[in-house]
Structure 1
Amino acid sequence: MVVGANESSRTVATGEQGDIDRDAVLPGERSVTDRMLVVGVILAVAAVLWHVYAIPIDNPFYGLFANGLDLEVYRAGGAVFRDRTGLYDGPVVFGMEFTYTPFAALVFVPLTVITLVHAKLLWALATMLALVLLAGRCLLLLNYRNTLRTWSFALLAAVICSVLEPVRTTLWLGQINVFLILLIIWDLTRPPSARLRGVGVGIAAGIKLTPALFLVYLACTRQWRGLGVATGTFAATIGLGFLLRPDDAYSYWRGQVTSAGRVGAVDSPGNQSVNGLLAQLLRFFDVGRYSSDAAGWTIYQPPTWMWLLALIPVLALGLTAAVLAHRAGRELLAVTLVGMTSACASPFSWGHHWVWLMPLAILAWQYAREAENRWAWLAPAGVFLIGFSWWWTFTDRPPMENSPHPIGIGLFMMPRPDNSVWFAYVTVPIYAGCFVLVQLVTSAVVIRRYCGPVRIPPRKAQPCRLPLTRSFPSNTP
């Protein structure tokens, strides 16, 4: 889906007397053009109009900022942690259980000292800021100059990417994923010698276990210092949970951590992981051998051996592609690949776990700009086509909070025909595994591009705070 757009280290040129020439364009450095800004404004306005009118922004339940259910769960989990009333003993709010670590509940405690209205407002503003920072970080890593024009384009890119289902759902539910992704990308795209590089990965894994796959990535790429810091930080978050709430920590790590059913029905269309893909296929083909009844529902779930048999090749493909991208100096691409692979590996990955599609879309866009073949524009088009937040109305369901049912859903949530029609055998597998498909195609393309002798770039690659030097090093292979 995307191959490596050029990422290289950047420096600031100095004049004869050591004064900084901030307007100097270094070799390989990029500037945001007028055309980029104009197209960006047009697409951003279109995205805003989509949010306002397609799924009306004033809809009391389905509007862009109207839900906030996950934020309420975070806040309730923080309150339970604060009050020592049993974090995993049952639902914390609206019949919803707290599924994150005890350390995550500690992180959410500050949300309990403000009202829910203020918490939702601050969280929405922080999420939008994080999206802009994420887009800006990606552009800087793609060697765009650190200027007002670049950050203006980052704002436009964030608005454009808000039409992606993982991003829209993050805003709609008040999800935390964009903060974790920003933390990981900031952490791992710093120079290898950066102080405490790896601490962001450790904190992210301590909040939500999925980023723990980055520990494997650091080991595969022999980034031992970063691996040590990340592992130590992750262990510290676990230890802090046991220190402050030993009963909750014991309950979580003894059994709650492996219970995917606490997150949702494994065969739910919203489960965009390898495990979810298998479960949905078992349901489609009605393989009763792997079904069970739970609370009046029949749930299909693959056995562990089947899940691992399908997962191991996906892990191998994703990590191999990430290692090759790292060796080629494409650290943003490598980190994005690991992030998508971690979503594939999780027993349950909601669509909003795939906010990694945002940096992928930016990488795909830059790749298309650099490519000589116009067919390269199929890469960003494909990311947006599969990841788009499509409009749908469920006319057979009662209104939620007196709201009609126009809702922004991912391709994976589209109504599926039963197996009595031939095209169901094409559409259902695609719907069930569309995000997994993105990871597989992206990994395969990256491996095809970078497999073979690759010159390892200088270890000083990709600083974002630029040193003052008169030299112009580049890690472009």
Structure 2
Amino acid sequence: MTTTTHDMTTTAATPEQHDISTAMLTVSILGALSALVWHVYAIPIDNPYYGLFNNDVDQYVYTAGGEAIRYGASLYDAPVFFEMEFTYTPFAALLFVVFTLAVPAVAKVLWWAAIIAALIALVAVCLRALNYRNTARTWLFALALAVVCTAFEPVRSTIWLGQINILLVLLVVWDLTRRDTATLRGAGVGIAAGIKLTPAFFLVYLACTRQWRTFWAATATFAATIGIGFLIRPTDSTTYWGRQFDAPARVGAVDSPANQSVNGFLAQLLRFYEVDRYAVHGPNSTVYVTPTWLWLAVATPLVLFGLYAATRAYRSGRILLSVTVAGMSAACASPFSWGHHWVWFVPLFILALHHAHTAHTRYRRLPVTIVLLISFCWWWNYPNREPLEGAPHPIGTGLFMLPRDDLPTWWANIAVPFYSGCYLLLFLATAIYAVRQVNATVRHAPVGQQTVATQGN
């Protein structure tokens, strides 16, 4: 018997539909109100730099990239906004021309509105993938959960910086949770990869799960975005694809606490323990760079295990879990993953909530608790430190402001490795959970029953 389900914990001949209970809706609304209060008072929303809507630096970079296209300037020969370089593809810059068509204040408001709308849509798409009924109550629940998620570190950083990652995750999740017969399934992945390279990891995922029709659609669309870039901006495209796309140092210092990938985790440890053999001394700073052999030795087995878990989840019909694990694997593998690259915590949070709602185990709420503890935007002020941008030095904004020199040595030896690798730890725990859930389903399936995904191409 062939079965399909997007349920995280069970498989059945006909996918069970789920309803949003009154208790779930009530808790979500209370959580949303709490998140709004937190935004106003924890890191004050009126702070001229750290306030939720008072930075938007990445949107300025996007606009500068669009202006370079519109007025014929180079994208990659020099920084486009103060000292910040344009690190996206020429195709992305073509899309960002839209920011130049409105005055900056209007463009910023429209961009924030697009981010929030994409966040709500992402939650709704995840609920659809888990087979929740399409009702007004479900949409109200999605709206409340979206507000709750704004208190997650990756989501708050996305809003604060004016980042694009939520829209890219929405594009991928929407695309890959559709039926295999859906028109141009895979094109969303190709467009996302054409804007920012990290989603190109899903081409590997599609090959591993043998979704060949989707794979070729995604590959063709990705190639088309590259071709459009060469057609419109041949010089910039040659520069980007020839020498820029694989240079993580252009994004930031590899050993920055902002780098939440395996590469960043190892570089931060080398810096913390002052392994001078891997220190690169510059005129104004010293950067610790992970040797390639060490990066690959640690990242390769982790990423392969993530792909294995995603493949097992896909073949058992847990499509959303499969895509989420693959997305986290991509962030793990990337040479440089800012905290906001981990907006995959949004579908992970929805999966954890679904597990708490549908499972019947004693510890069914534990995954929700863990995701909340790791992803929440914890903050602390150090008033004795030099103010940064006219405000006390908080550590919760951007997951990169842990003042390590203020910590006692004994505590730093615990806190710094965990702080640098907590996202990777959550990724590994999720992959292990996915494999264990699939194995448990196989063990308890009736004799002769096969559990396979019918969404394979």
In the superposition, the TM-score normalised over structure 2's length comes to: 0.92
Quote how far apart the aligned CAs of 1:460 are.
5.7
Query: What is the 5 A alignment of 1:26-425?
Result: 28-395=16-383, 396-400=385-389, 402-406=390-394, 408-409=396-397, 413-416=401-404, 421-425=409-413
SS at match of 2:423: helix
CA separation in 1, counterparts of 2:324 and 2:285? 36
Residues 387 and 411 of structure 1 are in contact (CA less than 8 Å); yes or no, is this contact kept in structure 2? no
CA separation in 1, counterparts of 2:172 and 2:412? 38
1:172–1:306: structure 2 CA closer, same or farther, 3 Å change rule? same
Identity across matched positions, percent? 54
- The answer to whether 1:5 aligns with 2:8 is yes
Quote how far apart the aligned CAs of 1:30 are.
1.0
CA separation in 2, counterparts of 1:188 and 1:64? 31
1:394–1:81: structure 2 CA closer, same or farther, 3 Å change rule? farther
- The answer to whether 1:459 aligns with 2:448 is no
CA separation in 1, counterparts of 2:357 and 2:261? 31
Residues 395 and 403 of structure 2 are in contact (CA less than 8 Å); yes or no, is this contact kept in structure 1? no
CA RMSD of aligned residues (A): 2.1
Q: C-alpha offsets along residues 228-273 of structure 1, whole Å, 9 cap, x if unaligned?
A: 0000011111111111111101111111111111100000001000
Q: C-alpha offsets along residues 435-456 of structure 1, whole Å, 9 cap, x if unaligned?
A: 1111111111211221485834
Quote how far apart the aligned CAs of 1:142 are.
1.2
1:4–1:412: structure 2 CA closer, same or farther, 3 Å change rule? farther
State how many pairs are aligned. Answer: 443
Q: What letter matches 1:439 in structure 2?
A: F
Of 449, 471, 475, which residue of structure 1 is paired with 2:437? 449
Quote how far apart the aligned CAs of 1:417 are.
5.6
Q: C-alpha offsets along residues 309-357 of structure 1, whole Å, 9 cap, x if unaligned?
A: 1111011110001001101111111111111110011100000000000
Quote how far apart the aligned CAs of 1:90 are.
0.9
In the superposition, the TM-score normalised over structure 1's length comes to: 0.89
SS at match of 1:292: strand
SS at match of 1:95: coil
SS at match of 2:260: coil
Residues 7 and 15 of structure 2 are in contact (CA less than 8 Å); yes or no, is this contact kept in structure 1? no
SS at match of 2:409: coil
Q: C-alpha offsets along residues 121-165 of structure 1, whole Å, 9 cap, x if unaligned?
A: 001111111111111111111111000000000000000111100
Q: What letter matches 1:86 in structure 2?
A: S
Q: C-alpha offsets along residues 6-37 of structure 1, whole Å, 9 cap, x if unaligned?
A: 58899xxxxxxxxxxxxxxx972111111111
Equivalence for 1:16? none
Q: What letter matches 1:279 in structure 2?
A: A
Residues 4 and 446 of structure 1 are in contact (CA less than 8 Å); yes or no, is this contact kept in structure 2? no
CA separation in 2, counterparts of 1:98 and 1:27? 45
Could you list the runs of 5+ residues in structure 1 that have no partner in the other structure?
A: 11-25, 462-477
Residues 7 and 331 of structure 1 are in contact (CA less than 8 Å); yes or no, is this contact kept in structure 2? no
CA separation in 2, counterparts of 1:168 and 1:175? 10
Q: C-alpha offsets along residues 50-93 of structure 1, whole Å, 9 cap, x if unaligned?
A: 00111111112111111110000000011012222110011101
Q: What letter matches 2:412 in structure 1?
A: A
CA separation in 1, counterparts of 2:292 and 2:114? 39
Q: What letter matches 2:226 in structure 1?
A: I
Residues 292 and 300 of structure 1 are in contact (CA less than 8 Å); yes or no, is this contact kept in structure 2? yes
CA separation in 2, counterparts of 1:458 and 1:198? 17
Q: What letter matches 1:55 in structure 2?
A: I
> Which structure has more RCO (C-alpha within 8 Å, separation ≥ 6)?
1
Q: What letter matches 1:126 in structure 2?
A: A
SS at match of 1:381: helix
Quote how far apart the aligned CAs of 1:284 are.
1.4
Equivalence for 2:3? none
